[in-house]
Structure 1
Amino acid sequence: MSPFQNETDVYAIHGADPEVLAYAMAKYSRSALTLRESLAEISSQKAEQFLNTFYFQYGHRSIADLAHVAFAIERLSLLAAIDLVDEQRWDGQERSTRYQNFRKSGYYTPTFDDPEQQPEYKKVIDSLFDGYTEIGEGMLTELKAHAPRPEGMDEAAYTRTLRARAYDMARYLLPLATNTSLGQITNARTLEGQVARLLGSDYPEIRALGEKLRDAAAGPAWQVNEAACNDLVEAIRALEPEIAQTADDLMLREVRVSPTLVKYTTPSEFTRATKPLLQQAAAELLGGESIVPMPPDSPNVELIAPPTGETLSLEIDLATSLLYPHTQYRFRQIRNAVAALSEKRISEIIDLGLQHRGRHDELPRAFAAANGLRFDILMDIGGFRDMHRHRRCTQLLQPWTTAHGYELPDFPSQPALSASPVFARYTELIQQAFAFHAKATGVPANATAAITSPKLAAHSAAAVPLPHFNGQGIQMKWAAPSSATSATDNKPHKCNPHAADYVLPLATRCRSLFTMDFAEAVYISELRSTPAGHWSYRNVAWQMYSEVAKQYPSLAKHFRIRDPHKPIDLLVR
């Protein structure tokens, strides 16, 4: 063939170990060999040597983008699962609270320093699971009375459809301790960052999860065809004993999906050193300010738009984004406080977020959240889990809290839980969980569906260099971060301060910031507003659309969206 003629060759690849395949593809930049030729000459030892040189010494992290690995993560809490999947470059699926009975899942029990805390915790969790069934069955009765079975509709299908809607309400009582399972497929670079982030968590369960992920990547992988291969080897041994061992080695060789790329992963020193600085900077800036409620016309979603002609808009947004995940305040409330600072002080806050950055540390996620359409979202944890799955955006999450109260699952077009016989039981269980959380943490609970105004406090008790604002700017002083003060008569138990978070039901409100481009705003609004979806995120999707329509009215026509307040057929899913 003439060198000037071109005949493109395309072929799929199967069976190569992830790291070996990554090395072979990386060789395209350093060798004229085809991928077939590269794979034929590469051994796992050769791949490890290459990766040790170019990945760890030279920082060529794009090589790890080429190694994709699959994991099953089973029997972890919902709380841990939310943290696990909090990656922008993540693909996977988790058990659905809509289609599976989580009463059978069991739950995670954290370690308490005070032995008296454990039976109290178990009592609260067991009550929530009992209530999950009670509310589900109670609302099924209400729904059947509201929407009688049409002629010609099968009884089983009728009950199954309405039971799904009933448990859409009952799931609000599932605690964050509830066990779930999920599968994920990520590239090795994402896995490395994920493991480092998990290892630095405040929660022992999540730190242990990071260690297990690292061990699973470095250790022998489960072989899908192991049983069939064993049978085949035994058959060969019976016929040709002398070649049975060769067949065994070929078919059942040990595969380690990422033994090199993740083996040195440790908690991020950058994150560890930066977090207390930003926590205290937020506390110093906002002091004991009350949480300002969300706008009355959009109680769950607020679109953030800088004032026209504002100077330092990007700097203000960067500083605000850095502080946001370490508070319970609205983004706009933090932003207003930052905007009132001098240019020097705004710059010092940004410096806090970067001063410990190492040679290969990426910029914190907050630096990707300062441009685009930004939605400050306050919603129940259950609905947030569905919104959290959107990857083409930057998300900043705030810590779990009872400060924002909880949601009532009163959905349009169907019987309201607040008007049902099981309403008293629902509120009793929420208040019981919130009371336990308040007693265990010493932070007063907001066991209502309305927003209150708690005091802000940092979370670490260790002595660290803390920022203090004064007329000359930010000065660093060694001290212990401020601690929460209790306004309750209940004496708090001595326990892991984060252990009590596992009792929080999915009805608990949480706050997060979603930053995206216009295309993603349209996509989320259209996808999440369909009648088959859960009311919680349908409502948020509608408010996202409404906020964009107010700010940019000429763009509203490009949304193909369904108003979630319009009547729907309860027997159609």
Structure 2
Amino acid sequence: MSSESLLPAGAHNQTDVYAVHGADPEVLAYAMAKYSRSALSMRESLAEISAQRAEQFLNTFYFQYGHRSIADLAHIAFAVERLSLLAAIVLVDEQRWDGQERSTRYQNFMKSGWYLPDFGEDTGSRKLYIETVDGLFTAYQNTTAAVLDALRQRVRRPDEMKQEAYDRTLRARAFDVARYLLPLATNTSLGQIVNARTLETQVSRLLSHPAAEIRELGRKLRDAATGPAWAAGSQAASALVTDIAKIDPALGEQAGAMLTREIRTAPTLVKYAEPNQYLIETRKALEQAAAELFAGVKIAPAPVVDLVERTETLEVELAATLLYWASDYPYRQVRDIVATLPEARVNEIIELGLRQRGRHDEALRAFHAGAALRFDILMDIGGFRDMHRHRRVTQIQQGFTAVHGYDTPESGDAAGLAEAGILADYQRTVEGAHAAAARIAQGTAPEAALNAIYAYPLATKVRCLFKMDFAEAQYISELRSAPAGHFSYRKVAWEMYKAIERQHPSLAKHIRATDFDKPIDLLQR
């Protein structure tokens, strides 16, 4: 007699766990949603559900009743290839996102190509843009070679290390330096796995962007979700159906309907994604408010990392974060200015952030307020792309601009540009790219100012506010300061730790950060 049969009626002590594979994302989301509305098991639900029934259910509960949590259950994988680094940064700016992008450390981007915006009749700006991007790629190639040569002269290969591993490690270190010269126009590729709710907001956000490439990316992402998906085993399945049909045509037709059917990953959940007017109109209103409030105010100097202590009310933090997002000023400077405003004016700024909010719109990310630690970070775009991956952080990124200048790869844990004999060339190239971008922005192209951004090299500084709890600050400080990391974010992580040490010394002792100022083994990965 089994132990289960000895239990009282209605008692069951045998938990059943099984993986589910092969169901269409929306059908699977429907089946999981039925747990709240039906006593059927997953196997029973999937056996009775068709794609048509799933669509009918989702049209009712998702769109009419606003049960958006259902879309959290449908996960979809995408390959996004040959998009610019600029578009990739915008694409991945989601707090619920999983994916991987081409690495500037392990891949040579000389062969990746680059994005050319529409310049319309402005042939002069088009010519200048092409010359600038070509010049940056040439400098990238020359810098890689020069730094790699300098590293080989400085770092001896240990006897126990294979030549292949030695070369690969030093090449990665050289790419770490050379990547500062890659323009935002550089093509990259990435893969992402997101749930349908994130996908819907992602598509809507992309469609709302002022840059044509990014709006087109939103349309293509929506089309990929609602249209036929690429099936990894389609060729093998077609070959099998052909073999079956040779033996039994009727069975072959049946097999074809099952094995080679067209699959659409999210034909219902994303089809209505449109530009987000709340985002578009609020951004404009806040930019205007920031321009008026900060008229004639110079951007205050700021360190690489500024841990802004909490002295203000929640209302001031919200208003300051909204204006920070719409400006180029340091958070501390914005916060201090907002703190002097009358209460009514502070509330007006908050109202601007919510006035255009629709029925199903989530409040802007700037309203994620109250985190204990706020790090205002000013760093090169290349390093920011690495820091951007931290999803447990509320990130408020400002727009790309050349007003903050650019970073120069430091020596120490990488062969310096001066050591490689190319420091002057590097400075001339980056400053030339910024000057060219300024001229392009003044051109007559339809999106002249946006086209200019593509010419910024990754050395260009960008400002972003990172709000987090202590556990995440501890995690980032430890992970990103490790010797194997890129020296740009290693410095930022170390400065984050030092800032915590100054303000919260009793907590800092629990952080195992690696001292950025101490020499490291360049061959350690």
TM-score by length of 1: 0.88
TM alignment of 1:168-179, pairs within 5 A? 168-179=176-187
**How far apart are residue 361 of structure 1 and its match?**
0.8
- Asked whether 1:338 is paired with 2:345, we answer no
Task: Give the aligned partner of residue 355 of structure 2.
Answer: 355
Task: Give the aligned partner of residue 79 of structure 1.
Answer: 86
Give the alignment partner of residue 517 of structure 1, picking from 466, 469, 487.
Answer: 469
Secondary structure in structure 2 of the residue aligned to 1:229: helix
- Asked whether 1:30 is paired with 2:40, we answer no
**How far apart are residue 494 of structure 1 and its match?**
4.5
- Encode CA deviations 1:278-306: one digit per residue, 9 max, x unaligned: 00111111112111111xxxx21111112
Q: Where does the alignment leave 5 or more consecutive residues of structure 2 unmatched?
A: none
Check conservation: 2:314, 2:369, Cα contact below 8 A.
no
- Give distance in 2, aligned partners of 1:244 and 1:402: 62
Check conservation: 2:207, 2:214, Cα contact below 8 A.
yes
- Give distance in 1, aligned partners of 2:176 and 2:165: 17
Give the counterpart letter for 1:395 in structure 2.
Q
Give the counterpart letter for 2:334 in structure 1.
I
- Asked whether 1:505 is paired with 2:505, we answer no
Give the counterpart letter for 1:229 in structure 2.
A
Task: Give the aligned partner of residue 12 of structure 2.
Answer: 5
Check conservation: 2:150, 2:419, Cα contact below 8 A.
no
- Give distance in 2, aligned partners of 1:369 and 1:388: 19
- Asked whether 1:533 is paired with 2:485, we answer yes
Secondary structure in structure 2 of the residue aligned to 1:417: coil
Give the counterpart letter for 2:349 in structure 1.
I
- Give distance in 1, aligned partners of 2:484 and 2:93: 25
TM alignment of 1:155-194, pairs within 5 A? 155-194=163-202
- Give distance in 2, aligned partners of 1:256 and 1:161: 42
Following superposition, which runs of at least 4 residues in structure 1 exceed 6 angstroms of deviation? none
Task: Give the aligned partner of residue 436 of structure 1.
Answer: 436
Segment of structure 1 superposing worse, 492-501 or 96-105: 492-501
- Give distance in 2, aligned partners of 1:289 and 1:157: 52
TM alignment of 1:138-217, pairs within 5 A? 138-217=146-225
- Give distance in 2, aligned partners of 1:389 and 1:291: 27
Secondary structure in structure 2 of the residue aligned to 1:191: helix
- Give distance in 1, aligned partners of 2:12 and 2:310: 56
Check conservation: 1:440, 1:495, Cα contact below 8 A.
no
Task: Give the aligned partner of residue 410 of structure 1.
Answer: 410
Give the alignment partner of residue 251 of structure 1, picking from 249, 259, 268.
Answer: 259
Secondary structure in structure 2 of the residue aligned to 1:116: helix
Task: Give the aligned partner of residue 220 of structure 1.
Answer: 228
- Asked whether 1:293 is paired with 2:301, we answer yes
Check conservation: 1:369, 1:395, Cα contact below 8 A.
no
Check conservation: 2:225, 2:264, Cα contact below 8 A.
yes
- Asked whether 1:423 is paired with 2:423, we answer yes
Secondary structure in structure 2 of the residue aligned to 1:205: helix
Task: Give the aligned partner of residue 388 of structure 1.
Answer: 388
- Give distance in 1, aligned partners of 2:243 and 2:306: 66
- Encode CA deviations 1:109-139: one digit per residue, 9 max, x unaligned: 0011312222221111111111111011111
Check conservation: 1:218, 1:259, Cα contact below 8 A.
yes
Q: Where does the alignment leave 5 or more consecutive residues of structure 1 unmatched?
A: 443-491
- Give distance in 2, aligned partners of 1:161 and 1:242: 58
Give the counterpart letter for 1:158 in structure 2.
Y
Check conservation: 2:204, 2:274, Cα contact below 8 A.
yes
- Give distance in 2, aligned partners of 1:419 and 1:139: 8
- Give distance in 1, aligned partners of 2:414 and 2:182: 21
Segment of structure 1 superposing worse, 510-519 or 146-155: 146-155
Give the counterpart letter for 1:200 in structure 2.
S
Segment of structure 1 superposing worse, 92-101 or 280-289: 280-289
TM-aligned CA distance change 1:82 to 1:413, over 3 Å: closer
Task: Give the aligned partner of residue 400 of structure 2.
Answer: 400
**How far apart are residue 192 of structure 1 and its match?**
0.4
Give the counterpart letter for 1:368 in structure 2.
H
**How far apart are residue 419 of structure 1 and its match?**
4.3
TM-aligned CA distance change 1:535 to 1:29, over 3 Å: same
Check conservation: 2:128, 2:440, Cα contact below 8 A.
no
Give the counterpart letter for 2:43 in structure 1.
R
State the percentage of identical aligned residues.
59
**How far apart are residue 152 of structure 1 and its match?**
4.8
Give the counterpart letter for 2:463 in structure 1.
R
TM-aligned CA distance change 1:494 to 1:241, over 3 Å: closer
Give the alignment partner of residue 138 of structure 2, picking from 104, 126, 130.
Answer: 130
- Asked whether 1:230 is paired with 2:238, we answer yes
**How far apart are residue 158 of structure 1 and its match?**
2.5
Check conservation: 1:71, 1:184, Cα contact below 8 A.
yes
- Encode CA deviations 1:174-227: one digit per residue, 9 max, x unaligned: 000000000000000000000000000011000000000000000011111001
**How far apart are residue 374 of structure 1 and its match?**
0.9
- Give distance in 1, aligned partners of 2:15 and 2:410: 59
- Give distance in 2, aligned partners of 1:291 and 1:431: 20
- Give distance in 2, aligned partners of 1:370 and 1:112: 44
- Give distance in 1, aligned partners of 2:168 and 2:75: 38
Task: Give the aligned partner of residue 66 of structure 1.
Answer: 73
TM-aligned CA distance change 1:46 to 1:435, over 3 Å: same
Secondary structure in structure 1 of the residue aligned to 2:99: strand
Give the counterpart letter for 1:329 in structure 2.
Y
- Give distance in 2, aligned partners of 1:426 and 1:418: 10
Secondary structure in structure 2 of the residue aligned to 1:418: coil
- Encode CA deviations 1:136-191: one digit per residue, 9 max, x unaligned: 11111211222233445443333322221111101100000000000000000000
Check conservation: 2:118, 2:445, Cα contact below 8 A.
no
Give the alignment partner of residue 51 of structure 1, picking from 33, 40, 58.
Answer: 58
Give the alignment partner of residue 108 of structure 2, picking from 101, 106, 113.
Answer: 101
TM-score by length of 2: 0.96
Secondary structure in structure 1 of the residue aligned to 2:509: helix
Check conservation: 2:102, 2:190, Cα contact below 8 A.
yes
Give the counterpart letter for 2:299 in structure 1.
I
- Give distance in 1, aligned partners of 2:392 and 2:462: 21
Secondary structure in structure 2 of the residue aligned to 1:432: helix
Secondary structure in structure 2 of the residue aligned to 1:505: coil
Check conservation: 2:226, 2:266, Cα contact below 8 A.
yes
TM-aligned CA distance change 1:12 to 1:414, over 3 Å: closer
Secondary structure in structure 1 of the residue aligned to 2:465: strand
Give the counterpart letter for 1:415 in structure 2.
A
- Give distance in 2, aligned partners of 1:322 and 1:76: 29
Check conservation: 1:321, 1:370, Cα contact below 8 A.
no
Check conservation: 2:307, 2:500, Cα contact below 8 A.
yes
